[in-house]
Amino acid sequence: MSRTPFRFAEGTAVVTGAAGGMGEHVARLLAGRGSDLVLVDRDGDRLDTLAAQIRAAHPGLSVTAETVDLAERDAVDALASRILAGHPEIRLLVNNAGVALGGDFARLTLDEFDWVMDVNFHAPVRLTHALLPALTARPGAHVVNVSSLFGLIAPPGQSAYCSSKFALRGFSEALRAELAQVGATVTTVHPGGIRTGIATSARVGVNIPAEEAEQGKRDFEKLLTFPADRAAGLIVEAIEKRRPRLLIGASAKIPDALARLAPANSLKLFAKLVGASGRRTTAGAR
């Protein structure tokens, strides 16, 4: 595995979920370090505003905005084709986009479950697979997959979200071992309670009562204390140092330690940590 620091100014960085939260701050930091950018999000208005701001601040960079719904597999494939056609020197892929869905498994529909898996897992896999030849054309490329606290522990009410984030974690660990053979590196990121909109904008299963859904969101808002710009700074630092794993915030580090040291009781202790003991979780942590 290459231990040479990642060189940001040597090519294009692709960032999904770039219109807000950690993705937006990562994009701004990458631009400051000289990366050309392909920014991807489903919120076209916010994405275009961000792209215009970065172009104004860094006129020497190439900045492309791609409005794409990553839940649509054909759209992901078409996005990859456009990226390869317009940006042959891809050096960094940041799979940051994610969605959350609350509700216990028995009351979720399979369409709801599949929507989470499509955005959080299948889209990163498809995009990585399509861009891999460009990323590995020469040594030194890097891939970042943003998993979650819920890629480390699995509380009730989060079957879809945990499935997607545990899957992304496993994919990342296998990919890391494979890419080490060709001089590329992978970072898996596990954010805890980051101050973004993922919890408040989380979907709730159609069969979940509104009062229960709102209570779950309020419970998890208590976790959202770590600033998104600081989280982005840690991610960019992890990219530069090619760290294999990054846990962000005590709300990720403490449950990770509990899961390792006391796996049978870790969820009870986690519930006490967020003040939601005995209730099912209906919002996501990021």
Give the number of domains in the chain: 1
Q: Do the domain assignments include residue 285?
A: no
Q: What is the pLDDT averaged over residues 270-275? A: 59
pLDDT of 95 reads 98
Catalytic-residue membership of 161: yes
Nearest to 148 by CA among 178, 113, 172, 177: 172
- Cα(27)–Cα(232) distance, rounded to whole angstroms? 9
pLDDT band at 276 (very low <50, low <70, confident <90, very high): very low
pLDDT of 202 reads 64
**HSE (CB half, 13 Å, CA atoms) of 2?**
21
A 10 A CB-CB count for 264 gives: 6
Give me 86's structure tokens.
């317009």
The mean predicted confidence, pLDDT, of the chain is 88
Contact 61, 36 (CB under 8 A): yes
Q: Do the domain assignments include residue 286?
A: no
Q: Do the domain assignments include residue 279?
A: no
pLDDT(248) > 50 = yes
Contact 161, 148 (CB under 8 A): yes
pLDDT in tens, 144-191: 999 999 999 888 888 999 999 999 999 999 999 999 999 999 999 999
Here the CATH number for the domain that contains residue 122 is 3.40.50.720
| Bigger pLDDT: 206 vs 90 | 90
Pick the catalytic residue from 6, 113, 121, 161: 161
Structural domain boundaries enclosing 37: 8-274
- Cα(129)–Cα(243) distance, rounded to whole angstroms? 21
pLDDT in tens, 200-215: 566 666 666 566 656 6
C-alpha distances out from residue 29 to 122, 232, 235, Å: 27, 8, 10
Q: Do the domain assignments include residue 282?
A: no
pTM over the 0.75 mark: yes
Q: What is the pLDDT averaged over residues 222-246? A: 91
pLDDT band at 282 (very low <50, low <70, confident <90, very high): very low
Q: Do the domain assignments include residue 110?
A: yes
